[in-house]
A = this chain, B = another copy of it.
Amino acid sequence: MDTRFGYPNLLECAAAVLVGAGLPDQIALAVASGLLEADLLGHTTHGLALLGDYIKELDRGTMEKSGDPVVVADYGAVSVWDARRLPGVWTTALAVAEAEKRAGQFGLGAVAIRRSHHIACLASFLEAPARRGSLVLVFSSDPSDAHVAPFGGLAPVMTPNPIAAGIPTATDPILIDVSTSITTAAMFGRTIAAGARLPGRWAMDKDGAATDDPSVIRAGGSILPIGGLDHGHKGYALGLLVEALTQGLGGYGRAEAPTQWGAAVLVIAFSPGRFSGGEAFVRETGWLAEVCRASPPPPDHSPVRLPARPVLHTRRTPSRMACRFGRASSSR
């Protein structure tokens, strides 16, 4: 589709739909804004395409509509919240703000969230803190679901378990958002709906063979960890780490066998000013960004990119800004 919509119109429309489904204004606006941010970052499987699924969850009462997260633990630089299945896009934004506040007080801070609902695009929380000079990491898993097998095994036991980071530089931040599997469940859903093949052999069938056929995920197959059959022990190890950071520190996960779509989340914020100083930090990250961009590509290839940088550049040129929507698909 090439149709373009103005940002304020889209935000207002999405928020209104969420208010119509029962969310208070403030929460609806936070969720709409977070989803739209995902679209603007190019993560279109985790943007407004999710709105329909969220409305369904609100309608059937499996996404909580009101109230606040409950503080389960609070000690120094860390806090644990029970999000009571409130919208994860909202509660994660609250957790980022809280972790950032504690980082100002203690140098770094962390908030673990149990029983969150889906948090959509992790990178969408990170541009604003990075522009304020905070280095924020977000980790997420869904203990109710399993698409990724342990390396060497056939039965899926984990979700794609993403790691995200907003890294300040002297100019645009570097926004990292990578699943520890080669791709996401949402991308599988979209590819199946389009009757297409994956861009690589990113799936494993029920017998352990790598394939580009996404439909194997509905026939006992799985999404391969980063590294695939060749060196997937690395993606597997990182996936285990994300499970421990999110469900372990949150104290709620697969051991409780939850059955509803949700998330376990960990947010860590660092205040570079409490380490070696904000200037020293961006001197190093700016230098790194430049040497990466200066690394020559092979002939006839595009220049090296920094994660999210081209998108952030485009956003500063309003006439070039547009939300591109992919085909809606189930997010699970």
Contacts and interface: CB of A to CB of B under 8 A. Distances in A.
A124 to B, nearest CB: 16
A211 B178 CA distance: 25
B78 A249 contact: no
18 contacts: A73-B276, A75-B274, A77-B106, A78-B107, A108-B110, A137-B241, A150-B292, A152-B305, A154-B298, A155-B294, A157-B288, A200-B230, A226-B227, A244-B284, A248-B280, A249-B275, A251-B281, A252-B284
Q: For chain A, give the interface size range.
A: 35 or more
B78 A106 contact: yes
A132 B285 CA distance: 35
B252 A276 contact: yes
A120 interface: no
A260 to B, nearest CB: 18
A122 interface: no
A105 B304 CA distance: 43
Contact of A76 (B106, B250, B277, B292): B106
A305 B282 CA distance: 40
B77 A76 contact: yes
Nearest to A287: B255
A265 to B, nearest CB: 13
Interface string A203-221: 0000110000000000000
Contacts of A13: none
